[in-house]
Structure 1
Amino acid sequence: MKQLTFYFDPISPYAALAFEALPEALAGHSVEVVYRPILFAALLQALGQKGPAEIEAKRRWTFRQVAWLAHVQGVVLDPPAQHPFNPLPLLRLAWACAAPQGQPGDTPGRWVAEQLFHHVWRGAGADANEPARLAELSRRLAPAQDPAGEAVKQRLRSETEAALGLGVFGVPTVELDGRLFWGQDALPMLRAALDGDPWFRSGIWESAAQPRPGVARKH
């Protein structure tokens, strides 16, 4: 059985769409999926980038595109009342639902991830951080650990740092056999890798990523 890792932050509509489409992309294969919530904003800060929602023209396009993609996929995608918002309460809740690191069940399962995504993107436009809604979500998930505890906070930090160390720069990212597939639109490529497409043994994956000299922007 192969194992792949799904890196996500529920703040991302593309991660929500990829989450919904993932079972179809994996159909017919025996695959264990490990779900790892990470802080997208920390990736952006570490790499000196802005998020799509922080650039007005890009924000408008992003929400138009994800509305179209949801239509094509036939899934519900209702943007929350505020976006971007602070996803830390949701990310910490996700890790609080897992066992402590090193113990069986030390990553949140698909059901937990699904509850987070639906809370944000199927909430009929409600505020993702509205206290009563967060309290209800927490009651439903019944976390085994304290979401506000230092152990959970540190786990989120260490998972995000580990993802950065692997080369993860955005969400969603799927890791399979040491390869990183970024974005909802990379799922067909992931499927091809699972199917054993000979392209992945041709050397093109490696050669295409080689650095090339070019003009460097002056800051």
Structure 2
Amino acid sequence: MGDTKSKISATFYDDIVSPFTYLYVKQRQSLTSKLEIKPTPLLLGGLLRVTENKGPGEVAAKRPHTYQFCIWQAEKLGIPFRFPENHPFMTVAAQRLLVAKDADWLMVERAFDYIWVEGKDPNLSWSEFCTDLNLPTDTPKPESPAVRVKLIANTNQAKVDGAFGVPALVVNQHCFWGVDTIDWVLDYLARPSMFEEVSYAYAGHVPNGLS
């Protein structure tokens, strides 16, 4: 293992409802030698609302294309993949549980595997979901005000950090959204002045010709 003191801290915003976040989690090892990444659960639905955005599962024309692309991408990467019984589904209870347990990467990955490897909706089999997370089968769905507030705070902080969906990795106040940005993050780490270059600076503030 690398020396964590020499690594750059990064925040990874996640919600288990996202298949692209699952695919990112399975590829994160390419970043861990350079970054100390903290998994941070949020509510994707809440983030989409506060950023006036929509998930692909909410857009009828986009839904089958997106889902079938996930299947193809998982096949290309050799990553096990299976859609759950329902999608999208409510993740409030599961995300609260990850917050309540201050879930490390092992627990986070187990949660994603339950959805995207076993193909299950935790709302339909809560006890089994908890067992998969190495928790007692009678673990209740978290309802404490502190956990609720923390999950909402994570969601709001994601917006402040520039996230408008998941997966989103925030490094040095730069937000990299999407599973296809892993290589971009690696290039940025090798070239930390990237966003100060003229072309990048301009692209970040191009005038909107439709406004």
Scaled by the length of structure 1, the TM-score of the pair is 0.84
Provide the rounded CA distance (Å) in 1 between the counterparts of 2:148 and 2:192: 40
Partner AA of 2:54 in structure 1: K
Q: Tell whether the 8 Å contact from 2:161 to 2:170 is kept in structure 1 after alignment.
A: no
1:34 aligns with 2:43: no
Q: What is the aligned partner in structure 1 of residue 202 from structure 2?
A: 207
Give the alignment partner of residue 151 of structure 1, picking from 124, 132, 146: 146
Q: What CA RMSD, in Å, does the superposition of the two structures yield over aligned residues? A: 2.2
Matched residues in 1 for 2:130 and 2:135: separation?
10
Deviation at 1:145, TM superposition (A): 10
Identity of aligned residues (%): 28
CA contact (8 A) 1:93 1:147 kept: yes
Matched residues, number: 203
1:20 to 26, 31, 35: 26
Is the Cα–Cα contact under 8 Å of residues 96 and 146 in structure 1 kept in the other structure? Answer: no
2:168 matches 1:173:
yes
- Shift of the alpha carbon at 1:141? 3.7
Query: Gaps spanning 5+ residues in structure 2: where?
Result: 1-6
Letter in 2 for 1:52: P
Name the SS for the 1:65 alignment partner.
helix
Q: How does 1:68-147 map to 2 (within 5 A)?
A: 68-98=72-102, 108-123=103-118, 125-131=119-125, 132-137=127-132, 140-141=134-135, 147=142
Q: Secondary structure, in 3 states, of the residue corresponding to 2:123?
A: coil
Superposition TM-score, scaled by structure 2 size: 0.87
Hey, what's the Cα distance between the residues in 2 that align with 1:193 and 1:173? 15
Q: 1:63 aligns with which of 67, 84, 96?
A: 67
Render the CA deviation track for 1:115-141: whole Å, top value 9, x for unaligned: 111111111x33332134334346x14
Residue identity opposite 1:121 in structure 2:
W
Residues 42, 160 of structure 1: 8 Å contact kept: yes
Could you list the runs of 5+ residues in structure 1 that have no partner in the other structure?
Answer: 99-107
Query: Do 2:51 and 2:159's aligned partners in 1 also have CA atoms closer than 8 Å?
Result: no
- Counterpart residue type for residue 11 of structure 2: T
Give the residue type in structure 1 aligned to 2:29: P
- Alignment partners' CA distance in 1, 2:171 and 2:140: 29
Distance 1:4 1:190, change over 3 A: same
1:10 partner SS: coil
